[in-house]
């Protein structure tokens, strides 16, 4: 394969499937980098799922970013001499720089979110044998570490669902899941490898008459809005930073094409946030007074409410509410307010460009300085550093 002329803008081949939101988001990050540091010319065919054949049949290019979706990409690595970077998945190819999501951080974000809802029984589902391990295993280990059961509902077969309907893979998987789900404890939270894997789980729950999210909450990975909204109820998802993955992959490839050294170790991008939709919008708590208090906190957080405001609205004494909180959640009402404010601050810092004063107001802090002090105490970093470490980089 001939190298394109150095006198023209670099020609870049992007072999990332456009059929899913994660692929389109990674492309958005690549394009954003190219606009800021290019120009680049993008060449080759864009396919729903990345294929090695499309790369090997591509026109001349100076650099390649690809998603390792099939073993045939080993041939690409052997035959292509141009600089290349792989993205996605759970691991790297020896000798090829890799940018992917931080599987353990994804699991931790998912578990923390579901545990905060009060769940004490968990299950995991989905993925294929070659990729499911770290993300779902890490989630299960977090549950076990807290003394909670975590059942494995098995691997998904979503790739087969897209390619054929003759052997009824979807229907067979829903039937299998129905048998698994019927054995779960009530009020179980299920963490799935992807939002596409979450769809048959919800379908099986619906056929069994299991209420989602009140009896079973479902949380997937990859905030692909179209996929999430196809389910009934729509699926909550961990946004695992695919746009940042694309940006970092483009930045690494740019350095390679310029002949600059790069670290061959894997770059792991942290997740951004949990995007809450109806599949998990619940509280797995039996105490109605605590549930009502948590709803008040969530709805009035930006008003700067304190413990006394919660007590006034509920019409109960502080000792009564504190006792119920400690028994149900293991913490005080004041502690719950702090945690809720910090969680909202994290989401705003990750997802918006609001200045720190505006963030502090929306989280119910009386002064930005107080917000910064408490945020640093709770997270170990300042709000500015947290934002920089969780947002797409804009430097070279």
pLDDT, tens digit, for every residue of 207-233? 999 999 989 999 999 999 999 999 999
- The residue behind tokens 């990975």 is 221
Give the residue among 68, 62, 63 at the shortest CA–CA distance from 50. Answer: 68
Q: What is the pLDDT of residue 164?
A: 42
pLDDT value of position 121:
93
Q: For helices 368-379 and 333-351, give the axis angle rounded to 10 degrees.
A: 100
What is the pLDDT of the chain when averaged over all its residues? 85
Q: Which two tokens stand for residue 30?
A: 């690549």
Does residue 76 surpass a pLDDT of 90?
no
Structural domains in the chain plus CATH codes = 11-101+242-270 (3.40.50.2300), 103-241 (3.40.50.2300), 288-385 (1.10.10.60)
What pLDDT, on a 0 to 100 scale, did the predictor assign at position 294?
A: 85
Rounded CA separation 391/353 (Å): 10
Percent of the chain with pLDDT over 90: 45
Per-residue confidence (pLDDT) for residue 6, from 0 to 100: 52
Residue 263: pLDDT above 90? no
What's this model's pTM, rounded to 2 decimal places?
0.77
Query: How far is CA 253 from its chain centroid?
Result: 24
Contacts of 353 (CB under 8 A, 6+ apart): none
Position 127 pLDDT exceeds 80: yes
309-325 exposure pattern, b = at least 16 Cβ within 10 A, e = fewer: ebbeeeebeeeebbebb
**Residue 396 has what pLDDT?**
40
CA distance 122 to 139: 9
d(CA 284, CA 180): 21
β-strand 150-152 against 121-125: which pairing, if any?
parallel
């Amino acid at each position: 394969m001939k190298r394109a002329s150095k006198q023209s803008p670099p020609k870049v081949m992007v072999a990332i499937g456009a059929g899913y939101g994660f692929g389109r988001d990674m492309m958005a990050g690549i394009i954003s980098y190219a606009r800021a540091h290019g120009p680049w010319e993008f060449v080759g065919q864009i396919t729903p799922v990345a294929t090695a054949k499309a790369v090997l049949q591509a026109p001349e290019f100076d650099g390649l970013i690809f998603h390792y979706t099939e073993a045939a990409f080993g041939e690409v690595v052997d035959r292509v001499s141009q600089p290349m970077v792989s993205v996605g998945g759970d691991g790297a190819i020896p000798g090829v720089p890799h940018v992917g999501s931080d599987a353990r951080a994804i699991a931790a974000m998912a578990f923390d979110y579901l545990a905060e809802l009060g769940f004490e029984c968990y299950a995991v589902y989905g993925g294929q044998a070659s990729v499911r391990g770290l993300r779902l295993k890490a989630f299960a280990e977090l549950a076990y570490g807290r003394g909670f059961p975590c059942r494995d509902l098995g691997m998904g077969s979503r790739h087969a669902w897209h390619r054929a309907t003759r052997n009824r893979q979807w229907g067979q998987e829903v039937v299998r899941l129905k048998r698994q789900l019927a054995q779960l404890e009530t009020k179980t939270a299920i963490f799935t490898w992807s939002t596409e894997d979450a769809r048959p789980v919800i379908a099986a729950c619906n056929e069994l008459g299991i209420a989602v999210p009140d009896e079973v909450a479902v949380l997937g990975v990859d905030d692909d809005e179209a996929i999430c909204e196809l389910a009934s109820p729509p699926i909550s998802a961990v946004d695992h930073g695919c746009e940042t993955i694309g940006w970092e992959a483009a930045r690494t490839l740019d350095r390679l094409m310029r002949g600059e050294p790069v670290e061959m170790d894997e770059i792991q991008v942290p997740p951004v946030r949990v995007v809450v939709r109806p599949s998990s919008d619940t509280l797995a708590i039996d105490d109605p007074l605590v549930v009502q208090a948590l709803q008040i906190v969530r709805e009035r957080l930006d008003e700067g409410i304190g413990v006394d405001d919660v007590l006034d609205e509920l019409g109960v004494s502080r000792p009564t509410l504190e006792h119920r909180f400690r028994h149900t959640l293991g913490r005080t009402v004041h502690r719950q307010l702090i945690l809720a404010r910090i969680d909202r601050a994290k989401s705003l810092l990750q997802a918006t460009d609001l200045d720190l004063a505006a963030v502090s107001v929306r989280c119910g802090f009386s002064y930005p300085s107080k917000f910064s002090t408490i945020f640093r105490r709770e997270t170990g970093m300042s709000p500015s550093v947290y934002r920089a470490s969780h947002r797409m980089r804009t430097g070279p």
